[in-house]
């Protein structure tokens, strides 16, 4: 049995996250749950949002999974109740869990779209305070605090990252690419205050697939959503190469970036290609590519994460056994819960115990400085 640290789980926020924390005058405009047509929906700034059933399938038989909005009562309590979650995770001997937001989206981009940026700022801080007081407090040795930031203002974001680091935050849920969101790219110095705050506070930057708002969907009109799901690792590869070749890892050499839900099997081949192109295109692109081999930058600044990647585990030494972490993805479709140990026993059959310990918990312990003491 492994002590497991999952570096990618998901919270379905309970209805009181913002209601309990926003000043009275913002409670109507801030996110709150309404009931209509037998469904429960989030509403904010007069907009009715959606809840995707696929976000909360844990504990349901596979044939009941669907894309319909759900009610809280359709989900198992572990989706939204941290005490129930802690019990569920304990059943798989998961001793550390890093949880992404759902309503704010995996990179916190919901509040970027808010018209009222004073409200948006309050919503970011309310979520972060709830992360500490509402979620992590229920099982402080289990839940690794991850926060979101004010994506529309890197100075504000940097201050919030520092405030949260002071409260014990270990991770930032950031976005895989800012350009599709209409924000300056990683090739500008716009984000330097944010990178600097993360580097100085050892806050790990987590890039979940899809947080650019773009999935890879080559035939969006006619093919099903299973295509972007199958192609999700292409999001991760694109995000990795884009950021790895940007000035960020050169300017902030201590920054640590975790690629969430992208899998790891593709990493060796992507790095091999990057290295080969780095060698062969020096003549015209050497200045852009920088003095370091892409694979060296990866091994200094990046982490990948797996749920059940046979290929990635076979290739672990090409990735770096120190650069791989496990994720459960509770309560989403990919989660092996409640059979994490069974799945991992099979996956680790040919992996020496010391390496398996690194992959299942050791690397995450080191990176997220967990447990706290």
* Secondary structure element (H or E) that encloses residue 7, with its range: strand 4-10
Radius of gyration of the chain (CA): 20
CA distance 224 to 217: 9
Tell me the C-alpha to C-alpha distance, in Å, between residue 347 and each of 309, 323, 341, 359: 8, 17, 10, 11
**Shortest Å distance, C-beta 8 to its own copies:** 15
Among 52, 227, 343, 348, binds its own copies (CB under 8 A): 227
CA distance 257 to 263: 14
Q: Which is nearer to its own copies, 83 or 269 (CB)?
A: 269
CA distance 175 to 101: 12
Q: Which is nearer to its own copies, 202 or 214 (CB)?
A: 214
- Which stretch, 15-23, 196-204, 275-283, 363-371, contacts its own copies (CB under 8 A)? 275-283
Tell me the C-alpha to C-alpha distance, in Å, between residue 325 and each of 6, 21, 163, 174, 181: 8, 34, 27, 18, 28
Q: Which is nearer to its own copies, 84 or 216 (CB)?
A: 216
- Which stretch, 107-115, 132-140, 202-210, 304-312, contacts its own copies (CB under 8 A)? 304-312
180's tokens: 């599709």
Residue 264 and residue 303 in contact, taking contact as beta carbons nearer than 8 Å:
no
Q: Is 307 exposed, middle or buried (0-12, 13-18, 19+ CB in 10 A)?
A: buried
Q: Which residues contact 75 (CB under 8 A, 6 or more apart)?
A: 12, 56, 58, 331
Tell me, by CB under 8 A, how many residues bind its own copies: 69
**Shortest Å distance, C-beta 316 to its own copies:** 13
**Shortest Å distance, C-beta 270 to its own copies:** 7
**Shortest Å distance, C-beta 150 to its own copies:** 22
Among 9, 88, 308, 327, binds its own copies (CB under 8 A): 308
Beta bridge partners of 173: 206
**Shortest Å distance, C-beta 133 to its own copies:** 35
**Shortest Å distance, C-beta 299 to its own copies:** 16
Among 24, 284, 291, 373, binds its own copies (CB under 8 A): 284
Q: Should residue 350 be labelled a site residue for its own copies when binding is judged by CB under 8 A?
A: no
Q: Which is nearer to its own copies, 36 or 219 (CB)?
A: 219
Q: Which of residues 11-50 bind its own copies (CB under 8 A)?
A: none
**Shortest Å distance, C-beta 292 to its own copies:** 14
| Contact string 229-248 vs its own copies (x = CB under 8 A) | xxxxxx--xxx-xx--xx--
Q: Should residue 251 be labelled a site residue for its own copies when binding is judged by CB under 8 A?
A: no
Q: Which of residues 321-340 bind its own copies (CB under 8 A)?
A: 333-334
CA distance 277 to 241: 12
Name which of 109, 69, 88, 80 is nearest 12 in CA terms: 80
Q: Which is nearer to its own copies, 158 or 237 (CB)?
A: 237
Among 35, 37, 64, 350, binds its own copies (CB under 8 A): 64
**Shortest Å distance, C-beta 82 to its own copies:** 26
Q: Should residue 283 be labelled a site residue for its own copies when binding is judged by CB under 8 A?
A: yes
**Where would I find the beta strands (DSSP E) of 239-333?**
257-260, 302-306, 324-326
Q: Which is nearer to its own copies, 143 or 278 (CB)?
A: 278
Q: Is 111 exposed, middle or buried (0-12, 13-18, 19+ CB in 10 A)?
A: buried
Tell me the C-alpha to C-alpha distance, in Å, between residue 319 and each of 85, 265, 271, 328: 32, 9, 9, 20
Sign of the dihedral defined by the CA atoms of residues 205, 370, 250, 304, in that order: negative
**Shortest Å distance, C-beta 67 to its own copies:** 6
Which residues bind to its own copies, rule: CB under 8 A? 54, 62-67, 177, 179, 185-188, 212, 216, 218-219, 221-227, 229-234, 237-239, 241-242, 245-246, 263-266, 268-270, 272-274, 276-278, 280-285, 288-289, 294, 308-312, 314-315, 318, 333-334
């Amino acid at each position: 049995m492994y002590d497991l640290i999952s570096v990618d789980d998901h919270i379905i926020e309970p209805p009181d996250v913002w209601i309990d924390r926003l000043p009275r005058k913002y409670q109507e405009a801030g996110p709150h749950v309404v009931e209509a047509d037998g469904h429960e929906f989030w509403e904010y700034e007069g907009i009715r949002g959606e809840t995707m059933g696929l976000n909360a399938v844990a504990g349901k038989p596979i044939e009941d999974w669907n894309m319909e909005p759900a009610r809280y009562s359709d989900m198992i309590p572990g989706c939204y109740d941290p005490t129930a979650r802690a019990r569920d995770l304990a059943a798989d001997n998961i001793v550390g869990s890093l949880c992404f937001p759902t309503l704010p989206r995996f990179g916190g981009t919901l509040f970027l779209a808010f018209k009222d940026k004073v409200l948006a700022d309050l919503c970011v801080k309310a979520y972060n305070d709830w992360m500490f007081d509402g979620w992590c407090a229920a099982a402080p040795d289990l839940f690794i605090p991850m926060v979101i930031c004010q994506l529309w203002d890197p100075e504000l974001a940097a201050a919030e990252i520092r405030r949260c680091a002071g409260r014990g935050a270990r991770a930032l849920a950031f976005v895989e690419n800012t350009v599709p969101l209409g924000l300056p790219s990683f090739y500008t110095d716009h984000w330097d205050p944010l990178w600097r705050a993360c580097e100085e506070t050892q806050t790990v930057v987590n890039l979940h697939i899809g947080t650019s708002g773009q999935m890879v969907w080559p035939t969006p009109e006619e093919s099903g959503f299973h295509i972007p799901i199958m192609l999700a690792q292409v999001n991760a590869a694109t995000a990795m190469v884009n950021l790895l070749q940007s000035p960020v890892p050169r300017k902030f050499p201590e920054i640590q970036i975790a690629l969430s839900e992208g899998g790891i099997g593709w990493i060796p081949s992507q790095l091999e290609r990057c290295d080969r192109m780095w060698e062969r295109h020096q003549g015209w692109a050497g200045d852009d590519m920088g003095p370091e081999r892409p694979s060296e930058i990866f091994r200094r600044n990046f982490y990948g994460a797996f749920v059940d990647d046979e290929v990635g585990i076979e290739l672990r030494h090409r990735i770096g056994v120190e650069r791989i972490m496990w994720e459960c993805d509770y309560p989403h479709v990919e989660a092996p819960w409640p059979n994490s140990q069974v799945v991992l026993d099979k996956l680790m059959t040919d992996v020496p115990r010391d390496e398996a310990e690194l992959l299942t918990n050791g690397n995450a312990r080191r990176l997220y400085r967990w447990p706290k003491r």
